Structure 1
Amino acid sequence: MQEFTNQKILVVGGAGFVGSNLVKTLLLSEPQEIIVVDNLLSAEKENLPKDSRVIFIEGSITDNNILAQLNSDLDYVFHLATYHGNQSSIHDPLADHENNTLTTLKLYEAIKDLINIKKVVYSSAGCTVAEKTFEQAEATTEDAPVSLYLDSPYQISKIIGEFYSNYYFKRHNLPVVKARFQNVYGPGEVLGAGQWRGTPATVWRNVIPTFIYRALRQMPLTVENGGIATRDFIYVDDIVQGLILCATKGIAGETYNLASGVETSILELANLINELTSNPTPLDFRPKREWDNSGKRFGSSEKSRTQLGFESEIDLPKGLINTINWTKNNFSFIEKCIQKHHNYMN
């Protein structure tokens, strides 16, 4: 990671789950400074390492005052800000627009003429382009067609971010690389982190941290539609390495899947987590979520492997064990974050 030595790096959304793990890894390369901009809507400041090279600015990247503070000599930009999750975006599409779509447009408009920028990495979502099927899934490639009928404002915002990335690359030569995430999990994802966003998805966000917490409490794991849906689960350390490779080896204007390439059903996941945590409570089977038509999906990692040298290294059982141990060690902090929303949940 010598490319980041003595560099000035901006991480938008850097206090979040993926962002904070990225910041910790980037610090190992001895950068000059890392500027983190985060409004803590779905994150906690405690996620960030205490380091004099980390400059934290609390607020949204859409704030003109914050944009005016950004250094004109930035070397790298990682744009990870998002309005966390499909369900939150369905509940409040305007908030999703403010925190998902507008963030990208205002950031790019502010940095389009900065001559030092070597690479901008935009975090997109694999669910946006995955085929909507409950039949046999095929690995989603980077050139998969985009449906005009997406399941949520979150998915719409993420693909609009890709469109803006393409526009600013073509029109202003802004060197944007698009990284399409699959389902990221691992240490540092805190249930209940940030502010109440109108639905229980504020607390029960992604499936793996929710399942692990509930399993450790010996609660039933909720499985919809028989657990037949499949996902591509990728460990956060692998995502961080993928982001770094996008910044250092990615071709501007290109899109890369950051995927494990392994398809796992939700039923398999639930049973494995119950086994690893010794949770004796039976699964709680419920009907399909009415809004979710994603069904079965996983990403192709071929392009990322051949062009970036990226390959996920942590398999699901090992990653789950690491995440279970981290959850046990940080249980009181997680409980504290969940309890912030106690009055809303009841």
Structure 2
Amino acid sequence: MTGFSGMSLLVVGGAGFVGSNLVRALLAAGAGEITLVDNFLSSDRSAVLEDARVKLIEGSIAEDEVLARLPQATDYAWHLACYHGNQSSIADPLADHANNTITSLKLFQRLSGVKSLRKVVYAAAGCAVAEKTYGEAVATPEDAPVSLFQDSPYSISKLVGEMYGNYFFTRGQLPFVKARFQNVYGPGEILGAGAWRGTPHTVWRNVTPTFIFKALHGEALPLDNAGQTSRDFIFVDDLVRGLMACALKGVPGEAYNLATGREVTILELADAINRATGNTAPHDLRPARDWDRSGRRFGDPSKSRRELGFEATTQIEDGIARTVAWTRANLRLIRRCMAAHAARLDLSAYL
């Protein structure tokens, strides 16, 4: 996309998995200057691109001194910072509140006074909107009813973030667009990056990078609910195109699913990863997670296709192959990040 040529851009959480991939794409699209904000709570400094157009502000967007250093004139902004992810939020709801809710409120209030701002895109969570079911799944549209009963503080804070953005939008000051993520995977997600966040999921993050790393070490892949849980897996390059489309074409006040529209079970994902890595270990079948009532879900991308011209084109086999290749090439980096948590977690099999 060329609509960002010469623009002043802001990416909050820009050193994270999605953020670093977005920054790379924005630079390729001719961005004039990118202000990147990150406190490295769940990211690694290696993800900050060395480019004269990238300016790093280190710290939390909830800090007043960080907010004061933001550019006075910004054309587009993306708010991707969060307290990653569901399990860490369950272990420490107050930390989730500090890093998911307060951050959104303070950023949106600060950006509401930026006259040059054309759009701010918020990383919303499709999991918070999807129906909680282990029965037959139906693709979740943007106008699906939202339950007041949520599975984790993470999903609660993501919904509150939408509400705060809607509040500042309705006051006529913030051109706020909601990009509802599905399960993103791809190159750049570093197991163990950042600080310890109270649970083994500091290292063992989303299912795809965890499975790939374990499969490369010949391990049996752990399948909660025997792998019958399902998700909508979207490749990070596709998601980044969606985030850019939300900025250029999204209507303020609206929500857009960045989804493939395809339901993939965790068993199917595990089988595909084992094929790609050559792992022959049998699966480790386990019961369902006790906190997760959202057994099966996937997103409906019809609105995004119609209004943004967005469509996820990467097939999961190709996306997994590319992610496996990246993981093989970056094992040293991944092990370095994992090693920082070795005092709290037995990682001797991998380091």
Aligned residue number for residue 162 of structure 2: 162
Pair 1:89-2:84 in alignment: no
Aligned residue number for residue 339 of structure 1: 339
Structure 2 Cα separation of the partners of residues 252 and 135 of structure 1: 34
Displaced runs of 4+ in structure 1, greater than 2 A?
A: none
Quick check: 1:113–1:172 contact (8 Å CA) kept in 2? no
Q: Give the secondary structure class of the aligned counterpart of 2:215.
A: helix
Aligned residue number for residue 174 of structure 1: 174
Residue-by-residue CA offset, 1:79-126 (whole Å, 9 max, x unaligned): 000000100000000110011011110001111111100000000010
Post-superposition offset of 1:167: 0.6
Letter in 1 for 2:8: K
Structure 2 Cα separation of the partners of residues 272 and 133 of structure 1: 24
Aligned residue number for residue 349 of structure 2: none
Post-superposition offset of 1:62: 0.5
Aligned residue number for residue 311 of structure 1: 311
Post-superposition offset of 1:232: 0.1
Post-superposition offset of 1:27: 0.3
Q: TM-score, normalised by structure 1?
A: 0.99
Q: Give the secondary structure class of the aligned counterpart of 1:70.
A: coil
Structure 2 Cα separation of the partners of residues 340 and 35 of structure 1: 28
Structure 2 Cα separation of the partners of residues 185 and 237 of structure 1: 9
Structure 2 Cα separation of the partners of residues 11 and 269 of structure 1: 31
Aligned residue number for residue 211 of structure 2: 211
Q: Give the secondary structure class of the aligned counterpart of 2:167.
A: helix
Post-superposition offset of 1:5: 1.2
Letter in 1 for 2:278: S
Aligned residue number for residue 29 of structure 1: 29
Q: Give the secondary structure class of the aligned counterpart of 2:22.
A: helix
Letter in 1 for 2:69: Q
Structure 2 Cα separation of the partners of residues 84 and 318 of structure 1: 26
Aligned residue number for residue 46 of structure 2: 46
Structure 2 Cα separation of the partners of residues 299 and 58 of structure 1: 34
Q: Give 1:133-148 correspondences, 5 Å limit.
A: 133-148=133-148
Q: Give 1:116-135 correspondences, 5 Å limit.
A: 116-135=116-135
The alignment covers a number of residue pairs equal to 346
Structure 1 Cα separation of the partners of residues 102 and 269 of structure 2: 35
Letter in 2 for 1:17: F
Q: Which runs of 5+ in 2 are unaligned?
A: 347-351
Aligned residue number for residue 320 of structure 1: 320
Post-superposition offset of 1:29: 2.0
Q: Give the secondary structure class of the aligned counterpart of 2:3.
A: helix
Structure 1 Cα separation of the partners of residues 153 and 44 of structure 2: 24
Structure 2 Cα separation of the partners of residues 328 and 141 of structure 1: 36
Aligned residue number for residue 296 of structure 1: 296
Structure 2 Cα separation of the partners of residues 248 and 267 of structure 1: 37
Structure 2 Cα separation of the partners of residues 109 and 299 of structure 1: 30
Pair 1:281-2:281 in alignment: yes
Residue-by-residue CA offset, 1:135-162 (whole Å, 9 max, x unaligned): 0000000000110100000000000011
Letter in 1 for 2:48: L
Structure 2 Cα separation of the partners of residues 34 and 271 of structure 1: 39
Aligned residue number for residue 71 of structure 1: 71
Structure 2 Cα separation of the partners of residues 111 and 155 of structure 1: 23
Quick check: 1:142–1:255 contact (8 Å CA) kept in 2? yes
Letter in 2 for 1:228: Q
Structure 2 Cα separation of the partners of residues 116 and 2 of structure 1: 19
Q: Once the two structures are aligned, what percentage of the paired residues are identical? A: 56
Letter in 2 for 1:283: H
Aligned residue number for residue 234 of structure 2: 234
Post-superposition offset of 1:286: 1.2
Q: Which runs of 5+ in 1 are unaligned?
A: none
Quick check: 1:204–1:210 contact (8 Å CA) kept in 2? yes
Structure 2 Cα separation of the partners of residues 154 and 242 of structure 1: 22
Pair 1:17-2:17 in alignment: yes
Letter in 2 for 1:292: D
Q: Give the secondary structure class of the aligned counterpart of 1:179.
A: strand
Aligned residue number for residue 59 of structure 1: 59
Q: Give the secondary structure class of the aligned counterpart of 1:247.
A: helix
Letter in 2 for 1:179: A
CA RMSD of aligned residues (A): 0.7
Structure 1 Cα separation of the partners of residues 293 and 85 of structure 2: 15
Quick check: 1:304–1:311 contact (8 Å CA) kept in 2? yes
Aligned residue number for residue 149 of structure 1: 149
Letter in 2 for 1:314: T
Post-superposition offset of 1:3: 2.1
Structure 1 Cα separation of the partners of residues 190 and 74 of structure 2: 30
Quick check: 1:262–1:298 contact (8 Å CA) kept in 2? yes
